[in-house]
Structure 1
Amino acid sequence: MTAGRIIFLNGTSSSGKSSVARELLDILDDGVFFHLAVDSFNAMRTKRALGAEELESALRRTRMGFHRSIAAMAEVGNDIIVDHVLSEPWRLLDCLSVLRAEDVLFVGVRCPLEELLRREQARGDRPSGLAAHQYDLVHRHGDYDLECDTSTSSPRECAERIKEFLPLRPSPTAFARLRDRYLSSGDTPDATIGQM
């Protein structure tokens, strides 16, 4: 069985990842794609209030489960569009350890901070300052197969670029290069966090 392709969109909150993912679902015509978003996994969690330590533990388990769900879906041949925020080093390292690097097209979804703040305020459904907090964190690994800027291109234009680039994935992919950089020593993701 051939593993599915993974289009991995990484960017801050309000950067436009979900909008790009919806456009990709509309235009990709050479397979059956599923949009898996970390926000959707978070929304499945119980609604009762959790203490800080319990919440942190639950969020970590949720994200680890999310990563493994992506891997499981792709392993049996499903094509996946991932919508994620890699704002903590361990998240990227965990993805590098569970996803097949050669199947991942890693896309940086960028947007200037001032536009992120404007979008965040207009949305009204995110904590104020969330995008600003994530801004310097999500792209600090510095390596993508492709990048798009949603302040200068519409979600449809970004999706079209990704569609055109998908069959041209480089070898090695950005995920393979990042895996070599961070995990080649055989360290576990937790042991490598300090190196990022």
Structure 2
Amino acid sequence: MGETAGRIIFLNGTSSSGKSSIARELLDVLDDEVWFHVGVDMFNAMRTKREMEQAELDEALKRTRKGFHRSIAAMAEAGNSVVVDHVLSEPWRLADCLDVLSPYRVVFVGVRCDVEELIRRETARGDRPSGLAAMQHDLVHRHGDYDFECDSGAHSPRECAEQIKAFLPNQPESTAFERLREAAGR
């Protein structure tokens, strides 16, 4: 990794927690350089929609996620700063990100929202399987360590983005990704 590597703000939360909305607001409030929003849903939208057996779909989704993780690293390596939105609902996803993004300083942000609000948002969206956000609620945060957390149920996406921006100059030396790598023996 060269001195020109981009910065990474990594938003993790359930489906319908507001990650994409916060990411769009971050692009507006982070006016110090050019930022890109890279979201896992964007990669899912690029995949063919043909019918697949569950095993084939699961394998395609795993490859999609792995490609997504590597695209984050490629963007940063090329000097681009990125705001990532992801759902780390399976342990391998976080482990893969810890490995692939090891050369980069990652600001790991937990996007939290109470279950009742997640269910309300999911129902209003109508484009997600019913119960997905509630099912993911405990899974996505089980690793238990973030550099910063915001509550998207109590604050608007703009307020969450402003909170994240205010945190950036005050980051501790040790990052959550570094601590999680160390805890996992990576």
User: What's the TM-score once normalised by structure 1's chain length?
Assistant: 0.91
Structure 1 residue 102: Cα displacement: 5.1
Conserved? CA contact 1:34–1:81, under 8 Å: yes
| Contact 2:8 2:104 (8 Å CA) reproduced | no
Secondary structure, aligned partner of 2:149: strand
Deviation, 1:103, is 1.3
Verify the 8 A CA contact 1:34 1:79 in the aligned structure 2. yes
Q: Corresponding residue for 1:161?
A: 163
In the alignment, what sits opposite 1:174? Answer: 176
- 1:183 is displaced (CA, Å) by 3.3
Q: Output the TM-score relative to the length of structure 2.
A: 0.96
Tell me the equivalent position of 1:135: 137
The alignment of Structure 1 onto Structure 2 pairs a total of residues equal to 184
| Residue of structure 2 in register with 1:29 after alignment | 31
CA root-mean-square deviation: 1.0
Name 2:185's counterpart in structure 1.
183
**In structure 1, what is the Cα distance between the partners aligned to 2:30 and 2:14?**
24
Q: How far apart in 2 are the matches of 1:60 and 1:181?
A: 24
C-alpha distance in structure 2 between counterparts of 1:67 and 1:56, whole Å: 17
Counterpart of 1:145 in structure 2 is 147
Match of 2:60 in 1: 58
How much identity, in percent, do the aligned residues show?
A: 72
- Residue 63 to residue 44, structure 1, CA distance change in 2 (3 Å): same
Cα displacement (A) at 1:167:
2.2
Q: What's the counterpart of residue 78 of structure 2?
A: 76
Q: Structure 2 CA distance, aligned partners of 1:161 and 1:28? A: 11
Equivalence for 1:11: 13
Structure 2 unmatched ranges of 5 or more: none
Runs of 4+ in 1 over 3 A off after TM superposition: none
CA spacing shift, 1:183–1:64, aligned 2, 3 Å: farther
Quick check: 2:39–2:84 contact (8 Å CA) kept in 1?
yes
Unaligned 5+ runs, structure 1: 185-196
Counterpart position of 1:106: 108
Give the conservation status (yes or no) of the 8 Å contact 1:5–1:78. Answer: yes
